[in-house]
Amino acid sequence: MSDFDTTLTNLGIPRYNTSSTTSGTTLDTKDTSRLGKTDMGVSDFLALMTAQLKNQDPFQPVDNSQMVAQMAQFSSLSGITEMSSTLKTIASQLSGGSLNDAIGYVGKNVLVQGSTAYPRTTGGLAGAVALEKDATNVTVTIKDKDGNTLKTIEMGKETKGAVAWDWDGKTDDGKDAGEGPFNVSVTATDGTGNVKAYPLVWAPVTAVSMGSDGKPVLTLPGIGNVSTDAIWQVG
């Protein structure tokens, strides 16, 4: 019998073998209820260390530095395991809380980057232009689903950032533009050429789900799925 087996026997701990039985103890390998915990806790470590001290050769005792090293190693491993478990719990709670918070967006309108927009129930359409830098001339073009230009909005000189615009739902010749959906595009220039710009449109949140990265994803008609980080404003 090995020293390890002797230590286990002195402690009254049976050693199980998945293919056979030892020490006269029979264990059904399919019944895991008797196995209890499979990791070593602090009490287990102390019990084994005590047994090691009791059974050591008095003429060749365990070196103090070796024992201190074993204790330090166990303490470090125990701390890492506990920290890992704590972080997993925190991450789970945060992801759950984020999804619960995102559910509050359902039924609300959000301003996000997109080119497809639906009119308000009261008529007309609102949106914004996101400018990377100041522009001397900003233009918003609204088209129908067939690509026909319905309205051109000349905004003129605008500064860097998000600049709001509003359309009453009438075409350039004064007719009712209909129920949409509409396609929105923007252009911007300054004295040196084109300025990077993109359209921001209002859209209702119809559903919320959890993305593969663990962050909430909002479903918007005509636009698709966007993360909550992409929201510019909530209406």
Residues 88-144: pLDDT tens digits?
Answer: 665 554 444 567 777 888 989 999 999 999 888 888 899 999 999 999 999 999 999
Block residue for tokens 């005792």: 61
Q: pLDDT per residue over 29-71, tens digit each?
A: 444 444 455 555 666 766 776 777 677 666 666 666 776 676 6
Find out whether 79 and 205 touch, Cβ atoms under 8 Å: no
Can you list the domains of the chain with their CATH numbers?
Answer: 3-101 (no CATH), 109-234 (2.60.40.4070)
Partnered with residue 30 across adjacent β-strands are: none
Closest CA to 231 of 112, 132, 114, 126: 112
Q: Write down the pTM of the prediction.
A: 0.57
Judge whether residue 215 has pLDDT over 90. Answer: no
Closest CA to 141 of 93, 199, 195: 199
